[in-house]
Every structure is written in C-alpha cells, then in structure tokens.
Amino acid sequence: MPFVKVASLSDLPVDSVIEVTLGDNLYALCNDRGTIRALSGVCAHQGGPLGQGQIANGRLMCPWHAWEFDCRTGENCDDPGARVATFEVRLEGNEILLQVP
C-alpha cells in the first residue's frame, strides 16, 4: 500500500488534530504528545468528524457527542468493541505520509 503526503509537521502542533481528505475518505491526523498517529476521520457513534475534535491525554474526542478514542489503537475509551480504524504514518523530514489502502 502506498504512502501519500497528507500534511507537514508545522500543520500539526503537539496535542492537536487535523482533518485530512483523500478521495472520499476522511482521516484524523493526530499529534499525540509528539507522536503522529492517524485514525479514521469518521466517529463510530454517529459519523461525527473526528478530525475536528480535540486531543487530551492520548485520547481523541469527537466534537459531536464527546465519544473518546485511544489515539494509538482506535478503541473507544468506554467500549473497546466500538473502534475506528488506524493507519500507519511515516515521517520524511517535515512531511507526514499516510499509508492508504
């Protein structure tokens, strides 16, 4: 699966999230305490935009109904069975690359 440049490190300060669109797919690109991670950008609850949420203590919070997901695993913090997909990220210099299916 190819890696695609989706952002620059300067676009994603520590403990922030941005929404990235590739084709018809949304991704939530997270800077979790200095580690870049990528999750599906669609909340498992009611389809909220995770890339427009907030990060605190390694958790990404959906802006619609405050569902929280572990930035590392994509698991919902209250119900591990409700999870979102995670995607591999690679850094090349200042560029953030996302592995897409």
Structural domain span for residue 40: 3-99
For residues 58 and 7, what is the distance between their CA atoms, to the nearest angstrom?
20
Q: 51-90 pLDDT, tens per residue? A: 999 999 999 999 999 999 999 999 999 998 899 999 999 9
Count of domains for the chain: 1
Q: Is the predicted pLDDT of residue 101 greater than 90, yes or no? A: no
CATH number at residue 86: 2.102.10.10
Predicted pLDDT at 80: 82
DSSP assignment of 47-98: --BGGGSEEETTEEE-TTT--EEETTT-BBSS-TTSB--EE-EEEETTEEEE
Residue for token pair 């994509």: 74
Q: 7-66 pLDDT, tens per residue? A: 999 999 999 999 999 999 999 999 999 999 999 999 999 999 999 999 999 999 999 999
